[in-house]
Chain A
Amino acid sequence: MCDTCGCNLTPGNRHLAFKPVAGGATAVSVLKGLLAKNDDQAAHNRQHFDRRGILALNLMSSPGSGKTALLEATLVALKDEFTCAVIEGDLETENDAERIRALGVTAHQIVTGTACHLDAHLVHDALHHMNLDGVDLLFIENVGNLVCPASFDLGQHLNVTLLSVTEGDDKPAKYPVMFRAADALLLTKTDLLPVLDDFDPARAEAHLRELANPAPVMRLSARKGMGMDAWLAWLREQLAAQRARVAVGQSRRPAIQRDGQQYHQAGA
């Protein structure tokens, strides 16, 4: 993005550039994000979405926290209101995509094989296999994993991180990279709270704040239909915000801005 104009140079790293070394060798300063290629592809994906006025959401959690169950309940609830589409990411099987298709919703399954996360290239390939005409909301269900997916921008506008109440309320403190990236935190399977004596939703929220994350925390049970209204209202609000951005030619990246981005702003 910015190999030549020098705006990656800051007072803190300027001394690293053009450092002379012993004969026969040259040290060159690069100062480029290691995942720059993924990030460029993600930016391209975001253009696909923005051009069509689509709001793209990336759902992340550990395996089995209820991502697909939440999608099923959400798609049913929004059936008459919006056109939705889903990209499913799993190590193996088409099971999740089949669950979504059973509801009459377009779903593309990405089988990652060994990769423990989706990346922007995998999502781009999926986009070109789907008909996105008229789609309002695109949900991307990432591979169940609380570590790796957080490092890869897919082109989504928002990250939604799920934490089921059976996992323990200390997970945001144990997986700070993942939970710091959340634009919304959903505490799922709350129908089970009465049988769990040690999950305190307030404590989960406190751990999230300690990551300096202001994201809303919503409690819900997709299976029992509890707490779904706040989540659906948030989705409507975010879609309206996306349409307002698109109308003025703007876009949005998820909560985390990587370093390169900050250098750009500082240099601009």
Chain B
Amino acid sequence: MHELAVAQALVEQVDAVIDQHQAHGATLIRVRIGPLAGVVPELLASAFPLAAAGRRMQHAGLEFAHAPIRVRCQTCGAETEAAMNRLLCGACGDWHTRIISGDELLLESVELETVPSLTPES
């Protein structure tokens, strides 16, 4: 499955964030994956340790933010919740809608270890 490829992309991005902030590692990674993104959170969670092995985020927790599917109707303007394979307007039933959430595939935030462990270094 392509979740391994997504996990590898995630690892690269987190790595860049760690560098950018001159941190030591990451402890928590939050991603937001909508049901329409085509990525299964459970599969990504099981692919992540493979992709992260030996990297500075290998012990980080992976947290998924909930992303409900919502559509905006282009006919009546209503914003309603929708099911994955019925993206119809909940108010008037029209199919001329646009997704306003539910297709996200985002790295939302990373918690970084910024202070080295308390053992003295020199």
Contacts and interface: CB of A to CB of B under 8 A. Distances in A.
A212 B88 CA distance: 7
Contact of A31 (B6, B103, B107): B107
Interface in B80-95: 84-88, 95
Interface residues of A, number: 47
Nearest to A18: B109
B79 interface: no
Contacts, number: 133
B47 interface: no
Interface residue SS majority, chain A? mixed
A118 B99 CA distance: 25
A177 B111 contact: no
The size class of the interface chain B forms with chain A is: 35 or more
Nearest to A13: B108
Contact of B113 (A24, A150, A174): A24
Interface string B92-112: 000111110001111111111
A180 B36 contact: yes
Interface stretch (A33-41, A42-50, A70-78, A103-111): A33-41
24 contacts: A13-B108, A24-B114, A25-B112, A26-B21, A26-B114, A27-B112, A28-B109, A32-B106, A34-B6, A35-B6, A37-B12, A38-B9, A117-B5, A148-B2, A150-B38, A151-B6, A173-B85, A176-B36, A177-B37, A207-B85, A210-B95, A211-B87, A212-B99, A258-B104
